[in-house]
Amino acid sequence: MQTAFGIAMGLGLAAATGFRVFAPLLIAGIAHRLGHLHLAAGFDWLGTTPVLIALATATLVEIVAYSVPWLDHALDVVATPAAIAAGVLASAAVMTDLPAYVKWGLALIAGGGVAGIVQGATVLARLKSAVTTGGLANPLVASAEMSGSVLTAVLAIAMPLFGLFFVGLLCVAVFLASGRFVFGRRKRA
């Protein structure tokens, strides 16, 4: 059962990195530091003071940068591959009871994949916001993304199986929304 919790927690944290790269890692580091989260061997550095300061600083920079309509699109160019890498890292960090080849395989494929799906959805949402409002609503989208990141990360750590269910619903919603955005709504006859 512990293995299932680790996988669920890893995928939840990976999804959270798709919303925001640094906030979920900061939350995981704080949870580890406070003794609420056990990390896999070799990942204790995530709860060290210098890393927590760096992640907190990066999270604040990310919040400010995503609040500026033209800067948020430029940041997506860097944030998309970074979110996938952070998703791999976050998921591997909490999958404690798996052999290394299984853990890293799951982290690369599932963790990176989930982070990429969520990040892609945020890019599409921000693009649609920019097209329809000239970028004026982008700070609202950015706030929703940050809230989603924090909520998803906290759920993943506190209630991993519920968090995984939430991530599953999120991926279905992303799939449906991106299809409507890319292909438009079908006209009824």
Instruction: List, for residues 14-57, the tens digit of each pLDDT value.
Output: 999 999 999 999 999 999 999 999 999 999 999 999 999 999 99
Per the model's pLDDT, the better-predicted residue between 123 and 187 turns out to be: 123
| Helix ranges restricted to H, the chain | 2-19, 23-33, 49-65, 69-94, 100-106, 112-133, 138-158, 160-183
Mean pLDDT for 117-123 is: 87
Least trusted range by pLDDT, from 72-76, 107-111, 115-119 = 72-76
pLDDT at 189 over 60: no
Burial letters for 19-43: b for 16+ Cβ neighbours within 10 Å, e otherwise? Answer: bbbbbbbbbbbbbbbeeebebbeeb
Prediction pTM value: 0.87
One-letter amino acid at 115 equals: A
Question: In this predicted structure, what is the pLDDT of residue 74?
Answer: 81
Left (φ > 0), alpha (ψ -120 to 50) or beta: where does 159 sit?
beta
Give the N- to C-terminal CA distance of the chain in Å, as an integer.
51
Per the model's pLDDT, the better-predicted residue between 62 and 173 turns out to be: 62
Residue-wise pLDDT for 146-160, tens only, equals 998 999 999 999 999
Alpha-carbon span 56 to 126, nearest angstrom:
24
* Predicted confidence band of residue 105 (pLDDT cuts 50, 70, 90): very high
